[in-house]
């Protein structure tokens, strides 16, 4: 049976329709994989009974020919995306006991086409982190080496797909939280254009950066999930009205390499990049050349400002967004207090973890009256320059290729006390979020320790379809 459980949703559906596999068997197999790999600490909650019940319904719908487009798609969801009547904690103590009153638009759309949500998964607290160690539920382990991190913040989403616990996972990105763990776990992670997928029901970290995105091992699966969840939503005024193409219809059509111009960013191959990752990514670039693509070196001169700009702006937005967790409206409240202010202070001091507090303080500082111009306003200007760098580059090339991460997965504990070195693991991913453009990490090989790394492909606004087709070429 296990050979019928393909990473391609179309193949799974074919097996279900032909009766070689039942949806109950499919879900049971994923549940067994979840149970057998509990030590990876992936799931916060498994919706086993509901998933099995949905599976039986799916089997019946398939028989009567009424199944939805995503029938049999078994999907895990990061604990920052709302699922009606389920816990929604962002892996934080401050949201302990909080349950969502409604479905996020992405989850509602998945369900409406018959997808099965198998559970909610661990992540870094409020999606802040690059290792999935900042979680009230404890760290998640990388299935390739359990002493190593899976990346973050959507680390458990990446592992759930890598370790065969579901066919796809919804994660979220503010600065690389899908692509970086995808790279560390040997799966593909797609971060879409800002506004392509509704943020309704995605807990806000930095609202002008945040997007929902998709992990899977197959462009058939990702394209079919994307075409269901993308598109305008009246509940999110920043969601785009741009037409949603039928991604899955064109995804397997080969590109004509003679018509595609690729560029690699010279600044992304410098200091800090591991030699094996560099060689692996250049090896892929060489293969693309051999296959007829034109490849040139390009320069994005403002790349030196990426990390500073990203952290100033996202911390500023986070300090504002996270002010709502005051002990009154959501989850946890410290009970020992003599005044309202003391209640706020005690709740927030105990409810938030170290990294979240660091960012709230940094963000409050850069927004404070005396420093606003020096930091926040300046970072906004730098963001514009970074966006213009991409606009200029995309006059000469159609897709940009870079490594996804400077190294393969590091050890659990290795960077936790050194925030700057942790932040540097996002050095190649934050640019696409600053510019609001789509980007994807596709597995590109393994290093001599057997640890995977990805190659990043960055595209023009709303060219997710092109990225998904480029995946065939890697
Ligand atoms: N690792 C980055 C950070 O800590 C990215 C987080 C994200 O994309 N949510 O901010």
* 238-292 pLDDT per residue, tens: 999 999 999 999 999 889 999 999 999 999 999 899 999 999 999 999 999 999 9
Domain that holds residue 215: 2-250
Q: Residue 19: left if φ>0, alpha if ψ -120 to 50, beta else—which one?
A: left
Distance 308 CA to ligand 1 centre (A): 13
| Bond into 153 cis (ω within 30) | yes
CA dist 405 and 447 (Å) reads 13
Percent residues over pLDDT 90 in the chain: 97
Q: What Å distances lie between residue 231 and 6, 174, 176, 253, 401, CA to CA?
A: 27, 19, 22, 23, 26
Place of tokens 């190593």: 148
Q: What is the mean pLDDT of residues 336-356?
A: 97
Q: pLDDT at position 2, please?
A: 75
Residues 121, 115 contacting (CB under 8 angstroms): no
* 188-223 pLDDT per residue, tens: 999 999 999 999 999 999 999 999 999 999 999 999
Residue 38 lies in a domain: yes
* 386-417 pLDDT per residue, tens: 999 999 999 999 999 999 999 999 999 999 99
Q: What is the mean pLDDT of residues 350-366?
A: 97
Residue 222 lies in a domain: yes
DSSP line for 346-408: HHHHHHS-HHHHHHHHHHHHHHSTTTTIIIIIHHHHHHHHHHHHHHHHHHH-SEEEEESSSSS
Residue 159 sits in a domain whose CATH number is: 3.90.1300.10
Residue 300 lies in a domain: no
Q: pLDDT at position 308, please?
A: 96
CA dist 281 and 441 (Å) reads 12
Q: What is the mean pLDDT of residues 420-436?
A: 95
- The binding-site residues of ligand 1, defined as CB within 6 angstroms of any ligand atom, are 127-130, 153, 173-177, 205, 314, 426
Place of tokens 């020992």: 336
Distance 445 CA to ligand 1 centre (A): 24
Confidence of residue 160 (pLDDT cuts 50, 70, 90): very high
Distance 61 CA to ligand 1 centre (A): 40
Q: What is the mean pLDDT of residues 424-452?
A: 97
Residues 336, 346 contacting (CB under 8 angstroms): yes
Nearest-CA residue for atom 10 of ligand 1: 128
Active site residues: 78, 153, 177
Q: pLDDT at position 66, please?
A: 92
Atom of ligand 1 nearest to the CA of 205: 9
Residue 56 lies in a domain: yes
Assess whether pLDDT exceeds 90 at residue 466: yes
Residue 329 lies in a domain: no
CA dist 259 and 115 (Å) reads 37
Assess whether pLDDT exceeds 80 at residue 1: no
Distance 430 CA to ligand 1 centre (A): 8
Residue 243 lies in a domain: yes
Per the structure, the count of domains in the chain is: 1
Assess whether pLDDT exceeds 80 at residue 65: yes
Residue 232 lies in a domain: yes
Residue 294 lies in a domain: no
Q: pLDDT at position 169, please?
A: 98
Q: pLDDT at position 3, please?
A: 80
Pocket test of ligand 1: the residue of 79, 174, 360 to mutate, having most ligand atoms within 8 Å of its CB, is 174
Q: What is the mean pLDDT of residues 121-143?
A: 98
């Amino acid at each position: 049976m296990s050979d019928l459980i393909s990473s391609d949703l179309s193949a799974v559906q074919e097996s279900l329709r032909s009766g070689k596999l039942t949806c109950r068997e499919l879900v049971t197999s994923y549940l067994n994989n979840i149970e057998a790999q509990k030590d990876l600490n992936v799931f916060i909650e498994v919706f086993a009974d509901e998933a099995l019940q949905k599976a039986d319904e799916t089997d019946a719908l398939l028989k009567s020919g009424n199944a939805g487009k995503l029938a049999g798609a078994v999907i895990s969801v990061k604990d920052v995306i709302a699922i009606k009547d389920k816990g929604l904690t962002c892996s934080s103590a401050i949201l302990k006991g909080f349950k969502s009153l409604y479905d996020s638009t992405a989850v509602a759309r998945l369900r409406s086409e018959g997808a099965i949500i198998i559970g909610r998964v661990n992540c870094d607290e409020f999606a802040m982190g690059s290792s999935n160690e900042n979680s009230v539920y404890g760290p998640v382990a990388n299935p390739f080496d359990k002493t190593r991190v899976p990346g973050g913040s959507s680390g458990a989403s990446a592992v759930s797909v890598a370790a065969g616990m579901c066919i796809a996972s919804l994660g979220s990105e503010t600065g690389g939280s899908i692509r970086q763990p995808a790279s560390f776990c040997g799966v593909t992670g797609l971060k879409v254009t800002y506004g392509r997928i509704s943020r309704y029901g995605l807990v806000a970290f930095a609202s002008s950066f945040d997007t929902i995105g998709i992990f899977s091992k197959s462009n058939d699966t990702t394209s079919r999930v994307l075409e269901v969840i993308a598109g305008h939503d009246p509940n999110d005024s920043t969601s785009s009205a741009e037409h949603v193409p039928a991604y899955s219809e064109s995804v397997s059509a080969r590109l004509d390499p003679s018509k595609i111009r690729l560029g690699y960013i010279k600044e992304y191959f410098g200091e800090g990049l591991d030699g094996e990752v560099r060689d692996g990514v250049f090896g892929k670039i060489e293969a693309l050349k051999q296959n007829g693509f034109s490849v040139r070196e390009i320069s994005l001169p403002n790349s030196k400002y990426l990390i500073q700009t990203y952290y100033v702006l996202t911390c500023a937005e986070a300090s504002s967004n996270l002010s709502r967790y005051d002990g009154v409206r959501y989850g946890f409240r410290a009970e020992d207090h003599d005044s309202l202010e003391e209640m706020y202070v005690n709740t927030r001091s105990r409810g938030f973890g170290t990294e979240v507090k660091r960012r709230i303080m940094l963000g409050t500082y850069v927004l404070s009256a005396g420093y606003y111009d020096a930091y926040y306003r300046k970072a906004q200007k730098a963001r514009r320059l970074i966006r213009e760098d991409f606009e200029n580059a995309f006059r000469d090339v159609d897709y940009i290729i870079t490594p996804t991460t400077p190294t393969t997965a590091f050890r659990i504990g290795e960077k936790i006390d050194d925030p700057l070195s942790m932040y540097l693991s996002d050095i190649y991913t934050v640019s696409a979020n600053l510019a609001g453009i789509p980007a994807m990490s596709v597995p590109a090989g393994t290093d001599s320790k057997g640890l995977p790394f990805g190659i990043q492909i960055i595209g023009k606004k709303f060219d997710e379809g092109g990225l998904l087709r480029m995946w065939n070429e890697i």
